[in-house]
Amino acid sequence: MVPSSNDHAGVATTARPIEKRLEMSRRSFMQFCATLATTLGLPKGAEAAVQQAMEAAKRPSVIWLHFQECTGCTESMLRAEHPTLEKLILDVISLDYHETLFAAAGHQVEAARNAAMAANKGKYLLVVEGAIPTRDGGVYCKVGNKTAIELTRECAEHAAAVIAIGSCASWGGMPSTDPNPTGAVGVNKIIDKPVVTIPGCPPNPYNFLATVVHFLTFGSLPPVDHLNRPLFAYSRLVHENCERRAHFDAGRFALQFGDDGHRKGYCLYKLGCKGPETYANCPTVLFGDAGAGTWPVGCGHPCIGCTEEGVGFTKPIHMLAKVKNVEPPAMYPGLHESQGQGATLGSAAVLAGVAGAAAGAGAVLARNLGKQHAEAEANTDKSEV
């Protein structure tokens, strides 16, 4: 079973400096706090508040529910590196209930959930992963003989905040696509409390971590957009920060997978990339801590718009995106169309020679005209005398 806040090394743990518990140097810990503050869009100097909160605040109890999903959000969390998962769940938060990560099963884990909720009433964070089926009374997903609807409402009642992680929990995701046989919906459709949504399939784990750290620091969840997505992660279009954006602006597009443009890293818009209508920080935060290019478009696949309801899992991959800022003109030539040829060195030399000859001829003509004018003036003066 995942250790609760009371199980993890007790008083001795709280007495140890956090950089020791996270196995970081003091410098690395300060950089970590500064990075989180920057990610959240906090003003200069806010890293001190983040540092203080992480050092002094009690780790929040987290109840993590699983419903209709592929566990991809949890798998993404397992690959976090700053900090690693075990540091996250033992030293930043207290993960008191998580069906995938529990070693125990059955009545033992349900008892742990009830105990954590009772001990942290009004203070724990509820995280929901997966869509919630509502058809036929919600019988298509049960845990501990309770439907997903019952469990979510029970756990949300005394939660300090509710976070929907992944597209499925945020707005239904893949399970809610037509014909949606189970009536799958997002968390916000079945409870009355505000729900912060962190969509993505999967979302970047650092979007979740930064959201939790904001809660630790300020006692509230970060500012959100009209879809309750944190602004620090979902306020900019994927298209705006894409490394292929320059090719879009220049009219260079891959037209088929594996063609010359695709191999050269041209824009994937004409292959159905939904980046121009999708809000997310994928191109800036990346995935897996494996270096540059570790996100779908960087790897050569169009963005499918998984953070946008009505785009991801709804629009076919090949369908062109509705560009929300500027659309490429239709007159841009394709890769195999004739685009003309610039001046070669030889042609430039010939042109320069012609231009030089013309300039020389003009100078001679002007000089001759000048002489003729001077002679005419002299003859006029003589006649007057």
Closest CA to 60 of 3, 156, 115, 125: 125
Closest residue by Cα to residue 161 from 84, 86, 222, 119:
222
Say whether 168 counts as a known binding-site residue.
Answer: yes
Q: How far is Cα 89 from Cα 104, in angstroms, rounded to an integer?
A: 17
Does 299 appear as a known binding residue? no
Task: List residues bridging with 88 in a β-sheet.
Answer: none
Contact partners, residue 165, CB within 8 Å, separation at least 6 = 73, 127, 128, 129, 198, 203, 208
Q: How many CB atoms lie within 10 A of CB 249?
A: 11
Helix or strand (DSSP H, E) at 209? helix 205-218
d(CA 22, CA 82): 9
- Is 239 annotated for ligand binding? yes
Q: Is 141 annotated as a binding residue?
A: no
33 annotated to bind ligand: no
Contact 367, 374 (CB under 8 A): no
Residues annotated within a binding site: 70, 73, 168, 201, 239, 242, 267, 273, 282, 303, 306
Question: Which residues participate in the annotated binding site for [4Fe-4S] cluster?
Answer: 70, 73, 168, 201, 239, 242, 267, 273
Annotated binding site for [3Fe-4S] cluster: 282, 303, 306
